[in-house]
Amino acid sequence: MIITGAASGIGEALAVAFYNATANNILVSDINTSGLNRIAEKINGTAITTDVSREEDVKKMINSSENDIDIYCSNVGIGSYEDFLKITNEQWQKMIDTNLMSHIYGVRHVLPQMLDRGSGHLVFTASAAGLLSQLGSITYSVTKHAVVSLAEWLKITYGKLGIGVSCICPQAVRTAMTAQGAGVAGIDGIIEPDVVANDTLKAIENDQFLVTPHNQVREYIQFKANDYEGWIEGMQNLQEQYIDEIKSVIK
């Protein structure tokens, strides 16, 4: 199996959870070599430094595995608040390459072998922002929505061919991304990465698509589906509550 973004946060927690569940042949990757090597040693796994925003790096990582890849955890993402009218094309491209294309590259190169075997499981770390929205960050919202859509399409298209797909959509998780505060995303509390990891392992066992470690997320989805206009108005009201904080961190 492969776990990307494994040097810290959710990726590290996934690696440890799989190891504790007696998974074998865990290959972990990250752009952070020192942190990655620490995790690999901790779980007796194999480390390969990878920039997943580069397809050749992803292809090299997948081809380096000496074993069949039964589970592929695509767990990379970045985000920040920004002023929509000031975002450059380069900033947009960085978010798209990291938050979306990294997942596409992984699937492109790991799915064929899974289809040949007739089995395999793809795990995508998205966000509740991909189901709802992220106030103050259009790039994060758009790319995370795209990841959810990608995962959904793959489940629809290949789910009857032996390919499991799980999409992780938490709100705030205690990671480097929330080290300076979770802002609006922390409205329902910040959970630990191991909570996300344990929920993910259960989802894989049960062939469950949507993983929502914050139970409130499913309630929000239902509200959004039942009353889209009312949901948007509620989000606008929420934005007004946090507008000063959002403006203070926009660069």
pLDDT, position 2: 98
User: What CA–CA distance (Å, rounded) separates 88 from 71?
Assistant: 36
pLDDT, position 180: 59
pLDDT, position 243: 80
pLDDT, position 251: 53
Full DSSP string of 28-77: EEES-HHHHHHHHHHHT-EEEE--TTSHHHHHHHHHT-SS---EEEE---
pLDDT digits (tens, 9 = 90+) for 143-192: 999 999 999 999 999 999 999 999 999 998 987 666 555 566 677 778 99
pLDDT, position 49: 97
Ranges under pLDDT 50 in the chain: none
pLDDT, position 187: 76
pLDDT, position 248: 64
Among the CATH numbers 3.40.50.1820, 3.40.50.720, 3.30.300.30, 3.30.310.50, which is that of 2-249? Answer: 3.40.50.720
The domain locations on the chain are 2-249
pLDDT, position 58: 98
Closest CA to 124 of 57, 72, 56: 72
